[in-house]
Amino acid sequence: MARVSVSRRQVRDLQRMAHLVAGVLLLAFVYLAPAVDGIVWLVRWVVVPVGVLSGIALWKWPRIRSWLARRGARR
């Protein structure tokens, strides 16, 4: 299996982008909820979990990275 090398900056940029997109969709939900029916499902089951997970990943990334490194060293 080929390993993909991703820099720390690329990971941070992807996490920030996901977090910003989730925030924009939450704002759209707040202001457009009565007008658009499908957005409720999208926000409840996609946007909120992605926003929460990306926020936790931004917050705990050093610990996650060290855990992944230790896990990879065992193999």
d(CA 15, CA 33): 26
CA atoms within 13 A on the CB side of 22: 18
Please write the tens of the pLDDT for every residue from 45-71. Answer: 887 888 888 788 888 888 988 888 888
pLDDT at residue number 22: 81
- Amino acid type, 52: V
Please write the tens of the pLDDT for every residue from 12-45. Answer: 888 888 888 888 878 877 777 666 677 777 777 8
Whole-structure pTM value: 0.55
Report how far Cα 35 is from the mean position of its chain's Cα atoms.
Answer: 27
